[in-house]
């Protein structure tokens, strides 16, 4: 069921939500957290679709805040979705403009579930310091996705310089299966024989730099990035050992090839993770991701990723 409420207040939205819950028998006590999504109008539906699918594993109240222009009329339009239109959640979409742009925290505060953790997800735009934003200050966990920015590596540096416990980014979550496969390889290959590592990646894929930093933390050997053909995902990791080269590569598709220094090439599953997969994983934990924080702040500075950073094209001078 979808209910539109135009030119309203959050108090009226809360009352309407309570009535819908009573009439439809929706039980709010089963919700384990409040997920606040900040998204531009163009990404609202995509973000809701991903959150709805993730909510089947983590029942929650989803509040979507689509902030308009400060110059627009001061107005709040809301939409409530429950039942089949909301997965295992209650979805409240708030579209605001004018003076409400600068009062995001007060706009959503009355709709937060009492005594439940708050997770905030910036679905596209990434603030300069997420923990110091109105929504970031009230959230237990703050999820960003720097791949949605114009300059992902610049955004990665911004995350590193402003990191606060509870911050995370989906470019780290996309690495989970790579880290699992590489950890299993290190059960076969003696880490003491590894002399250096190379990560192959297209330009502007910050997951590659984070994987390189994680490998540096695990093995304490030089790790470099090699920029390859255009693409959106990293493609290979080369472990250079005293016994030969070990390569885990996924040039395309969901199956990777593992080539050991001795022995036949093996096929291993390594599918590209979907947005809802990544979001569901982040919702499984409400404590700070200490490994991410250490890799980001301590090991990322040890990785030279300049080869994979696109130099912005300078503007053409006006005639």
What domains are there in the chain, each with its CATH number? 2-144 (3.40.50), 171-309 (3.30.360)
What are the respective helix, strand and coil percentages of the chain, to the nearest 5?
Answer: 40, 25, 35
pLDDT tens-place string over residues 16-35: 888 887 776 554 446 789 99
* Residue 4 backbone dihedrals phi, psi, to 5 degrees: -95, 135
Cα–Cα–Cα angle for 51, 87, 100, rounded to 5 degrees: 55
- pLDDT-derived band at 319 (thresholds 50, 70, 90) equals very low
Prediction pTM value: 0.90
pLDDT tens-place string over residues 136-152: 999 999 999 999 999 99
Extract the tokens encoding 244. Answer: 């030969």
């Amino acid at each position: 069921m979808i209910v539109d409420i135009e030119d309203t207040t959050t108090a009226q939205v809360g009352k309407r939500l309570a009535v819908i819950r009573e009439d439809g028998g929706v039980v709010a006590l089963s919700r384990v957290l409040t997920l606040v999504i900040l998204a531009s109008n163009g990404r609202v539906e995509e973000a809701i679709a991903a959150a709805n699918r993730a909510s089947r594993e983590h029942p929650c109240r989803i509040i979507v805040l689509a902030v308009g222009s400060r110059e627009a009329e001061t107005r709040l339009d809301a939409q409530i979705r429950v039942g089949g239109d909301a997965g295992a959640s209650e979805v409240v979409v708030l579209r605001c403009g004018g003076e409400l742009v600068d009062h995001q925290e007060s706009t959503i505060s009355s709709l937060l579930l009492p005594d439940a953790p708050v997770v905030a997800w910036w679905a596209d735009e990434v603030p300069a310091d997420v923990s110091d934003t109105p929504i970031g200050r009230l959230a237990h966990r703050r999820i960003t996705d720097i791949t949605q920015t114009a300059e992902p590596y610049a955004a990665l540096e911004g995350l590193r310089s402003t990191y606060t416990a509870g911050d995370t980014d989906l470019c780290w979550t996309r690495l989970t299966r790579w880290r699992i496969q590489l950890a299993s390889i290190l059960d076969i290959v003696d880490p003491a024989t590894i002399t250096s590592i190379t990560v192959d990646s297209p330009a502007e894929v910050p997951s590659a730099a984070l994987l390189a930093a994680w490998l540096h933390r695990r093995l304490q050997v030089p790790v470099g990035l090699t920029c390859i053909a255009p693409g959106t995902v990293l493609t290979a990791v080369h472990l250079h050992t005293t016994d030969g080269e070990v390569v885990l590569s996924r040039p395309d598709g969901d199956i990777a090839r593992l080539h050991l220094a001795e022995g036949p090439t093996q096929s291993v599953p390594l599918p590209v993770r979907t947005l809802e997969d990544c979001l569901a994983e982040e919702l499984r934990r409400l404590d700070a991701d200490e490994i991410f924080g250490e890799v980001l702040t301590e090991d990322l500075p040890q990785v030279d990723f300049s080869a994979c950073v696109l130099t912005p094209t300078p503007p053409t001078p006006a005639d």
